[in-house]
Amino acid sequence: MVTDVKAVTHVRNIRYDKAAEALYIIDQSLLPNEEREIRLQTLAEMVEAIQTLRVRGAPAIGICAAYCLYLLARSIETDDPAAFLTQLQEYSARLEASRPTAVNLAWALREMEKTAATYAGNCRSALLDALYQKAISIHDDDIAKCLAISEYGLSLLKDGDGVLTHCNAGPLATSRYGTAQGPFLLAAERGMRLRVFADETRPLLQGARLTSYELHRAGVDVTLICDNMASMVMKNGWIQACFVGCDRIAANGDTANKIGTSGVAILAKHYGIPFYVLGPTSTIDMSCPDGAHIPIELRDPEEIKTLWYEKPMALSGVKCYNPSFDVTDHDLIAGIITEKGICRAPYQKTLASLFQ
Ligand code: MRU
């Protein structure tokens, strides 16, 4: 077992091998027991990987989709620019439909489509090269954004603080430091001691399988708790702040993140603990007025009843409701931390100013 921050922050969760023109991801569905790379070649494999969370986390699915669209563009055979764009948009729509909540997926695909439209009149190799460079720049930009977010996040913490986090917003979900977990990794690099409490995050256990895995390997003091223990650790006085990631932030600051996040925010308010959302500006959807307009992904009930168990934990006829995300009301959020700085209420105004 490594206890080395760099080994964690430099994980190659999404890797494009240009010489071989091959896209690889770490299959996150196998973690923490196995770290295995898989190659994505066909549209069906790409969609399946996103839907089954082999690649997951809002920024990571955007980055992955950008490389996917570049690869798919390479397979389009026509020389007619209009026919090329039509086929590319069809592929893009199929990728976008794979998961509805995280806006980074749509954002990255739009960026790729805009590049394709700009270069469609050029020769094939120039067009493909522009798409490749765009995918690389989306990836590189995310690295820079994550570092900036992590610095701003860390500026809100002091040595010895306890921080609660929900789901996984670390290097596997992004690139390099991550968003909500980035401050913990930066702190570890700088010898600052934080005590992190990671919710296990039912039903897909991203907190247990991924967050505690990353933080433990990086040498961060991490304690794994079941989701229903958050109130207890807050009441004990062990938590000075909550840091969570995000999948879509509406114009008024309402924020979709992994199911259970809004409950953490409500608890934090009860105990007087500041609750912060950390994410890149690509997660802000100014065209979405409020949380009621954020599409929420519903997933297979078997994730609750059977997925992790040798035997089913409920009768097969029992109904299940399995939303993958929930929305935290903006008035529960103490600050939204982006690569451009920390936004405070009124979010309608402070979020809009990020895009002026
Ligand atoms: O369903 P997942 O695992 O993709 O959900 C991930 C989250 O909710 C993360 O908190 C969010 O995407 C932010 S990742 C930086």
The pLDDT tens digits for 144-191 are: 999 999 999 999 999 999 999 999 999 999 999 999 999 999 999 999
With b meaning 16 or more CB within 10 Å and e meaning fewer, what string describes 195-211? bbbbbbbbbbbbbbbbb
| Burial class of residue 44 (count of CB atoms within 10 Å of its CB; 0-12, 13-18, 19+) | exposed
pLDDT-based confidence at residue 79 (cuts at 50, 70, 90) = confident
d(CA 265, CA 256): 12
Query: Is the pLDDT reported for residue 269 higher than 70?
Result: yes
**Among 247, 254, 285, 326, the one annotated catalytic:** 247
**Which pLDDT score is estimated for 4?**
86
Q: How would DSSP label each residue in 302-335? A: HHHHTTT-SS-SS-TT-----BSEEEE-GGG-SE
Q: Which of 14, 56, 201 to mutate to test the pocket of ligand 1 (most atoms within 8 A of CB)?
A: 56
Q: Is the Cβ atom of 102 under 6 angstroms away from ligand 1?
A: yes
Query: Is the pLDDT reported for residue 2 higher than 60?
Result: no
Q: Which atom of ligand 1 is nearest to the CA of 56?
A: 4
pLDDT over 70, % of the chain = 99
Neighbours of 300 (CB within 10 A): 14
- pLDDT tens by residue, 274-307: 999 999 999 999 999 999 999 999 999 999 999 9
Centroid of ligand 1 to alpha carbon of 109 (angstroms)? 18
- pLDDT tens by residue, 211-248: 999 999 999 999 999 999 999 999 999 999 999 999 99
Neighbours of 48 (CB within 10 A): 13
Q: Is the Cβ atom of 55 under 6 angstroms away from ligand 1?
A: no
pLDDT over 90, % of the chain = 97
Centroid of ligand 1 to alpha carbon of 244 (angstroms)? 9
Catalytic annotation present for 247: yes
Q: Which of 145, 246, 285, 296 to mutate to test the pocket of ligand 1 (most atoms within 8 A of CB)?
A: 246
Contact 291, 325 (CB under 8 A): no
**Which pLDDT score is estimated for 3?**
65
- pLDDT tens by residue, 303-322: 999 999 999 999 999 999 99
As a whole number, the mean pLDDT across the chain is 97
pTM: 0.97
d(CA 318, CA 177): 41
Length of the chain measured in residues: 356
Q: Which atom of ligand 1 is nearest to the CA of 102?
A: 12
